[in-house]
Amino acid sequence: MVIAELAVPVVAAPMAGGPSTAELVAAVGEAGGLGFLAGGYLTAESLARQIADVWDASSRPFGVNLFVPDHANTYLPDRPRGLSGHDRAQAVALYRDALAGEAAQRGVELAEPGVGMPDAWERQLDLVVRERVPVVSFTFGLPGAAVFSELSRAGIETVVTVTDHDEATAAISAGADALCLQGPDAGGHRGTLDPAKRPAVASLAELVAAVRPLTQLPLIAAGGIATAEGAAAMVAAGADAVQLGTAFLLTPEAGTSLAYRRALADPALTTTTVTRAFSGRWARALTTDFVLRYGPLAPAAYPEVHHVTVPLRRAAAATDEPELLALWAGTGWREATAVPAATVVAHIARSLTGR
Ligand SMILES: Cc1cc2nc3c(=O)[nH]c(=O)nc-3n(C[C@H](O)[C@H](O)[C@H](O)COP(=O)(O)O)c2cc1C
């Protein structure tokens, strides 16, 4: 039992794309919370290196987050899946055409939608079992019961990210050991189990209150939590722990790029928007002209759109052009400060002691 027995019920969210580092995970663990490595977009080899770095830096428990690909997602079969086949390919091609001018201006070649890592999921699963990672969380899908049994036999605690009552029910039936309830204010991707579904808009407190009566399993509340008061409100609503991403983005231990750090502190960026512009999946980011212009055109086609836009985002990072970066941020981003991760943990946990 890791989550139920945390000294401090504060979780540092997995943040794929750079912000999550072994250093951040170790620092949060040492502070009594729980840190997560972000397996999304990593090869099994890169993830293995990060796991080894955490083991070297700390003896505290930690987690690894994995993105569940559609082929392993048992939530999908009976449900409508939105665009498919030819329509989907055509929608991605149209979006790629719409971005062609942006790419040409920067001398960048947009990627083909099919480029990915076909067996990444299987290899990552093998890795976390072999390494006996203490906690594994899943996002973007619900693995089959066999996966939960295998991890359980390996002594691994499992978490599934869900965004509404129906997804929570499915994750409990599948055999998850804990749920991460993600509300609409969250930074980064919405973790809906069905990518074609418009994410729920009920508040995080409402989501926690709706799921609490369903289960005794530990519930981790995530999304827009930025203060000790906000965290305490989620625990009062029935959560056992809180998970924060954006609050850790400016910590020195995070791998957040300089351009991203500057954008988070830029007074000219005044709002966040839930957009499909970068990846084809709904995600909350700082509102830039790119988001306003291309968000309305982007189809529901993850991960194809993600792959198409990667070269554009890489070029933006190399030339320090925040406009084209996916500046994921929760609604509480203004509260994020450049203090050590342990300070964030202590600050958020202030009102949670004595549970
Ligand atoms: C930069 C960034 C990257 C993220 N990457 C992941 C990820 O790889 N896996 C995941 O489950 N959630 C990811 N999330 C979402 C978090 O798990 C969590 O739901 C969110 O950060 C909570 O909202 P907050 O950012 O307002 O604290 C990411 C969030 C951010 C801000």
Reading the block at residue 23, the tokens are 């250093």
Residue 269 belongs to some domain of the structure:
yes
Residue 354 belongs to some domain of the structure:
no
Instruction: For residue 137, name the pLDDT band (cuts at 50, 70, 90).
Output: very high
Per-residue pLDDT tens over the stretch 185-219: 999 999 999 988 889 999 999 999 999 999 999 99
Mutational pocket test of ligand 1: of 135, 234, 328, 334, the residue with most ligand atoms within 8 Å of the beta carbon:
328
What is the residue whose two structure tokens read 């293995």?
A: 48
Residue 201 belongs to some domain of the structure:
yes
Per-residue pLDDT tens over the stretch 52-65: 999 999 999 999 99
pLDDT of residue 78: 61
Instruction: For residue 244, name the pLDDT band (cuts at 50, 70, 90).
Output: very high
**Cβ proximity of 247 and 186 under 8 Å:** no
Distance CA 213, CA 175 (A): 17
pLDDT of residue 21: 98
Protein residue whose Cα sits closest to atom 11 of ligand 1 = 139
Q: Which helix (H) or strand (E) holds 244?
A: strand 241-244
Backbone φ, ψ for residue 275 (5° rounding): -140, 155
Distance CA 134, CA 321 (A): 38
Residue 30 belongs to some domain of the structure:
yes
The answer to whether the CB of 199 is under 6 A from ligand 1 is: no
Residue 64 belongs to some domain of the structure:
yes
Distance CA 321, CA 314 (A): 10
Reading the block at residue 119, the tokens are 């067996």
Residue 195 belongs to some domain of the structure:
yes
Mutational pocket test of ligand 1: of 246, 302, 344, the residue with most ligand atoms within 8 Å of the beta carbon:
246
Residue 355 belongs to some domain of the structure:
no
pTM score above 0.85: yes
Reading the block at residue 216, the tokens are 């005794």
Residue 204 belongs to some domain of the structure:
yes
Per-residue pLDDT tens over the stretch 310-334: 999 999 988 888 989 999 999 999 9
Total number of domains in the chain: 1
Return the HEC string of 15-63. Answer: CCCCCCCHHHHHHHHHCCCEEEEECCCCCHHHHHHHHHHHHHHCCCCCE
In CATH, what number is assigned to the domain containing residue 204? 3.20.20.70
Report residue 143 CA to chain centroid gap. 17
Strand partners, 285: 273, 328
What is the residue whose two structure tokens read 């990210």?
A: 161
Percent with pLDDT over 70 in the chain: 97
Distant-in-sequence, close-in-space partners of 241: CB < 8 Å, separation ≥ 6:
3, 6, 9, 10, 11, 34, 218, 219, 220, 221
**Range of the structural domain that residue 155 is part of:** 3-349
